[in-house]
Amino acid sequence: MRRAGLGEGVPPGNYGNYGYTNSGYSACEEENERLTESLRSKVTAIKSLSIEIGHEVKQQNKLLAEMLRADEWKLNALPTESRTDATSGVAILISDQLDFKIRQVKRDTQGQYIMIKGTLHQEEVMLINIYAPNTGAPRFIKQLLTDLKEGVKNNTIIVGDLNTPLTSID
């Protein structure tokens, strides 16, 4: 790649300045130093942000560990009767301190969803946690919600990893 103004007017065989005019090479060095300093400041900012994120993750993990003391939570999770391992699947954690009474649990054998119907302070509530497959997620979600639509009421909460891109870049 040839930059304008660099190396022009140098007689053949004059290699002491590598084919650059003195003023052009100096400008190139200055531009390089400016870009290096800009990059250095950006790397420093990213490093600082990364350290802050690390501290935040540690703090959040500590809070989560305190919240999830096993004696305070009911766990409705897979495996179902047809699964023999507990290596994957979805779960819904419900604190024992909530007045939540489970009436019905529905889940699939692959561990891709769990639906819990119950009452919370005498209100009917439905909780659905979905883990959609990496391929065919929209079709999977549509079929699942079609299958569950009879039970879906006003107080329904749907959460999970829907594996659905928001833009074509995702």
Q: What are the pLDDT digits (tens) for 68-125? A: 665 555 554 433 444 455 556 788 888 777 888 999 888 888 889 998 999 988 899 9
Determine contact, residues 68/93, Cβ cutoff 8 Å: yes
β-pairing, 100-107 with 123-131?
unpaired
Instruction: Looking at the structure, give the CATH architecture of the domain made up of residues 72-161.
Output: 4-Layer Sandwich (3.60)
Chain center to CA of 108: 24
- Determine if residue 160 is left, alpha or beta; phi over 0 gives left, psi from -120 to 50 gives alpha, anything else beta: left
Determine contact, residues 126/135, Cβ cutoff 8 Å: no
pLDDT of residue 8 exceeding 70: no
CA distance 141 to 137: 6
Determine contact, residues 57/49, Cβ cutoff 8 Å: no
Determine contact, residues 83/101, Cβ cutoff 8 Å: no
Q: What is the pTM of this model?
A: 0.51
Cite the residue boundaries of each domain of the chain with CATH code 3.60.10.10.
72-161
pLDDT tens, position by position, 19-63: 555 555 688 888 899 999 999 999 999 999 999 998 888 888 787
